[in-house]
Structure 1
Amino acid sequence: MDIRDVPEAHVDRAMELVYLVFHDNPEEEQRKHHRELVLQCERIGAYDGDTLVGFLAAHRFTLSVPGGELPCPGLTFVSVAPTHRRRGVLSAMIAELFRRGTRQGRPLAALWASEDAIYGRFGFGPAMECLSVEIDSRRPLALRIAPDERPLRLIDPADAPSVVGPYFDATRAARAGRIARDAERWRGEWLAEEAEEDDELSPPRIVALGDTDEEIAGYAVYRTKSGNDDTGTPGLVRVDELEADDAAAAAALWRYVASIDLTGTVRAWGRPLDDPLLLFAADRDQVRVTGGFPGLWVRLVDVRAALTGRAWAAPVDLVLDVRDQHIPANTGRHRLTATQEAGSYEPTGDAPDLTLDVRDLAACYLGGTEVRRLVRAGLVAEHTRGAAARLDAALRTELLPNSGDEF
């Protein structure tokens, strides 16, 4: 196979391969949206002669990490022709992406896994867990706390980048795992109307908490859907994003979406494990967790740059013996020394305190998985008693990583 860039002239070919692999036949408007999206991405293809048999697109993202942010390509539309499976096509394309990342100073890569079993073998680890939540809103939302009583106001989606964009940017500093959004991503992707699979959903609505002459204290992005009297299905509110300063502000926003006329169900996808709703809801029969799933998968392409590019919650001095089958430069023993101000990661011949695979280090990197859990699961070897607990203390974040920004 010849692994090379996919030129703009071959993008339509690439998308036909994607639709073949994912058994999709989207409408013309959706095809146009996909094409515009892919044109903004880095594009890697596998060619058998003149035939495109593999395709990988990578968004040029920046990801929030504890204490900062790092460049992080976001993989999408990953496809291999059914005639060329099990011939190393996917491995070759991902290897090329890793080579470019190392060469261009991009220490991370990320994706949402269509099949979990595929990406772990390439060193990706699930860096966060997300929840699906459903509220029975046929009666008022029962709360244990008093909601913030400041006024709520609807925001024109066209104004989202300027009104709620800065608020979202602030959440990235507080919660790792979030992708930077410019105005184009807000309007063209996050709030896109034509990209919806369910054409019965309304356009996006945005509600913000706070007067027009003050900074907002939170916001929610949601869509609605009419009920069906024939089947007895109540109207739906789908919450795509809800962010708030504190519990009282969050309670005001949840109360709002749960009280919209002609609806009886609220569904929210991609909520963090530490969502305060699950604690201040007075009736957990009314507010139910309906599912949990791995969210963003992260790959440490350059372990040293990734570890020294984040902040640390506590001092740590440990020797890590890291295994990486795909990027030899990451393999071996390194001493991780970090304070709350800075960290270093240098090769050493000293005995290891912990031995772990790069995928498991990636799962812990944003603070979403405890090293001790992986030790108990037999995935990480602890050679020095208490080493896992010390690394956990250093990796800890006040808020768990979370992102509902699927791509």
Structure 2
Amino acid sequence: MASAHHHGSPDGDDPAWTVRDSTRKEYPAFAAVFAEAIGMPVELLLDGERDFPSAEYDRSLVALDGERIVGTTTAYSLTLTVPGGPRRAAGITDVGVWPTHRRRGVLSALMRRQLADLRARGEKLAVLWSSEGGIYGRFGYGPAIRQFHATVPRAHAVLRPDAPRDPALTVELTDPGAVREEIEELHRRTAPLRNGQILRKPGWWGRLLHDAERDRRGAGPLRAALVRGPDRAEGYALYRVLHKWENGLPEGEVRAVEVVSATPAARVALYEHVFSRDLATEASLEHLAEDDPLTVLLANPRHLVRTGFDSLWVRLVDLPGALAERSYATPLDTVLEVTDRYAPWNAGRWRLRADGEGARAEATDEAPDLALDVSHLGAAHLGRGSLTGLVDAGLATEHTPGAAARLDTAMHVPRAPLCGTSF
């Protein structure tokens, strides 16, 4: 996860920090700096990488003060679902600056170098999870997904009578390892239905399903509820049960880590299974899209308590390439004037045209219809940002009336994006 503890120099000018590639041999020192920056035990990083290797050491960068590492960042090679289909993306993580070197331009130096490296690799998009929302906008990232955690009191966890229920479906409760192959196949099958999903590699599944005691937070072991139809699995839920009593009464909680379904009836079966566990007075569910079916399936949705947050932030590394590789809901012909402080190759005026045959963005000298920052396009890239809202706030400038609304309409997707994989 990207760290929240450093902002670069106040004036944005980088002092002469040396930024260079890191190595596998250097990983313990790299991990020590990142762990100190975000205040976590370094053993968590070292143990995780030992048990479930996923680091791409040739994509790691360090900033140096003399010979000492004072800043870190790395990238994963990801496949991300975007409007138009899965696309390559760089997943930025392990961003850290040694606490005594904050606000001195270390992060700025790392970000500049990293963006140049991503461009050289031909990656058009970069994405990250920001542990603090005030940092990454200045580096061109925009919050592209809002999602939520939910809690539902057991007494009110009743679905509508007309919710689709299929008697041909069965629910099996088991250890996740016993059905891992089916779980992975279901995720691959359903991920393209929501923009923002990351197609998980085997090592990522190992980390997700590894049931470490520290991840349980007092609850029991991770369980998998697998919904099967006549031909194949149709959904799964990964959850834990907290066993708790107060004053002689059960106060247990069901904590769902992930719910994935290929059909509406499978989703209903999973929710009704989670809500039916005995001795639980509350169910909590992590990583739900803003329009998750639960928001309309509950008989009384008022009892669904949501805690919203921004998850995935998106950055256009290659602006014309990224705009051309996504799909658009309506034909479009508009000129954008874009500012980009950390990737100057994106700055300038671009004519974006889209029709039924595809899209293209080309440099132009024509008068702009809309002036905005590259971070604003990143926030809109997965189909649910509001450029009109940015114009209303005075953060983007509309030179042609209705230009923002037309671009919003063209970029819009019907389903809210979701990212269920943090990194």
TM over 0.5: yes
Change (3 A) 1:214 1:156: farther
Distance in 1 between the 2:319 and 2:267 partners? 36
Aligned with 2:78: secondary structure? Answer: strand
Q: Is the 8 A contact 2:157 2:298 kept in 1?
A: no
| 2:113 match | 96
Kindly state the Cα deviation for residue 196 of structure 1 after the two structures are TM-superposed. Answer: 4.3
Name the residue aligned to 2:224.
Answer: 206
* Equivalent residue letter for 2:195: A
Q: Which moved more, 1:168-177 or 1:271-280?
A: 168-177
Partner in structure 2 of residue 168 of structure 1: 187
* 1:79-118 aligned within 5 A: 79-118=96-135
Q: 1:345 aligns with which of 361, 374, 382?
A: 361
CA-to-aligned-CA distance 1:341-385 (integer Å, 9 cap, x gap): 310000111111111100011000110212222222222212212
Q: How does 1:221-370 map to 2 (within 5 A)?
A: 221-229=238-246, 234-289=251-306, 291-370=307-386
Query: Mind listing any 5+ residue stretches in structure 1 that lack a counterpart?
Result: none
Secondary structure at the residue paired with 1:93? helix
Q: Which residue of the partner structure matches residue 371 of structure 1?
A: 387
State the AA in 2 paired with 1:236. E
Give 1:325 shift.
0.8
1:305-357 superposed Cα distances (whole Å, 9 cap, x missing partner): 11111112211111111111111111111110112331000011111111110
1:215 shift after superposition: 2.4
**C-alpha distance in 2, partners of 1:227/1:71?**
45
Letter in 2 for 1:117: G
**What is the Cα-based RMSD across aligned positions, in Å?**
2.1
Partner of 2:48: 33
Aligned partners of 2:199 and 2:39: how far apart in 1?
Answer: 31
1:178 aligns with 2:194: no
Q: Deviations over 1:56-86 (max 9, x none)?
A: 1222211111112222121222111122122
One-letter amino acid matched to 1:398: P
Q: Which residue of 1 aligns with 2:176?
A: 157
Among 359, 362, 381, the alignment partner of 2:397 is 381
How has the CA–CA distance of structure 1 residues 58 and 203 changed in structure 2, closer, same or farther, with 3 Å as cutoff?
Answer: farther
| TM superposition score normalised by structure 1 | 0.92
Other-structure match for 2:92: 75
After TM superposition, the structure 1 stretch with the greater mean CA deviation from structure 2, 228-237 or 47-56, is 228-237
TM-aligned CA deviation for residue 104 of structure 1 = 0.7
- Whether the aligned pair in 1 keeps the contact of 2:31 and 2:45 (CA below 8 Å) is no
Q: Provide the C-alpha distance between the structure 2 equivalents of 1:228 and 1:14, rounded to a whole number of angstroms.
A: 44
Contact 1:144-1:281 within 8 A present in 2 as well: no
Other structure's SS at 2:421 match: coil
Greater CA drift, 116-125 or 377-386: 377-386
Identity over the aligned pairs, expressed in percent? 35
Aligned AA (2:193): A
1:134 to partner: Cα distance = 0.5
Farther-moved stretch of structure 1 (349-358 vs 377-386): 377-386
**Is contact 2:63-2:72 (8 Å) kept?**
yes
Does the 8 Å contact 2:250/2:280 carry over to 1? no
Amino acid at match of 2:208: W
Q: Write the deviation string for residues 264-310 of structure 1: whole angstroms up to 9, x where unpaired.
A: 21111221111121112112343222x11111011111111111111
Question: What CA distance in whole angstroms lies between the structure 2 residues aligned with 1:357 and 1:52?
Answer: 32
- Matched with 1:119 is 136
Partners in 1 of 2:105 and 2:54 — Cα distance?
23
Q: For residue 310 of structure 1, what is the amino acid of its counterpart? A: R
Offset of residue 246 of structure 1? 4.2
Cα distance, 1:200 vs. partner?
2.2
Q: Distance in 2 between matches of 1:334 and 1:221?
A: 45
> SS at the partner of 2:113?
helix
Distance 1:68 1:400 in 2: 15
Match of residue 12 from structure 1: 28
Deviations 1:120-152 (A, max 9, x none): 110110001011210111465242533423211
Q: Using the alignment, how far apart are the partners of 2:94 and 2:39 within structure 1?
A: 13
The answer to whether structure 1 residue 192 and structure 2 residue 210 are counterparts is yes
Gaps of 5+ in 2: 1-16
Measured against aligned partners, the alpha-carbon deviations of 1:168-225 in whole angstroms (never above 9, x if no partner) come to 2232222111111122221x222121284444233322222223x5122322222222
When the two structures are aligned, how many residues end up with a matched partner? Answer: 403
- C-alpha deviation, 1:19, in angstroms: 2.2
Q: Is 1:45–2:62 an aligned residue pair?
A: yes
Once the two structures are TM-superposed, the CA of residue 15 in structure 1 deviates from its matched residue by: 1.5
Counterparts of 2:118 and 2:316 in 1: how far apart (Å)? 10
Whole-Å separation in 1 of the counterparts to 2:199 and 2:112:
25
Q: In the alignment, is the contact (CA less than 8 A) between 1:127 and 1:366 conserved in 2?
A: yes
Q: Secondary structure at the match of 2:301?
A: coil
Cα-to-partner distance string for 1:197-256 (whole Å, 9 max, x where unaligned): 444233322222223x51223222222221143696721211122122344332221111
CA contact (8 A) 2:290 2:416 kept: yes
Q: What is the CA–CA distance in structure 2 between the aligned matches of 1:29 and 1:127, rounded to whole Å?
A: 29
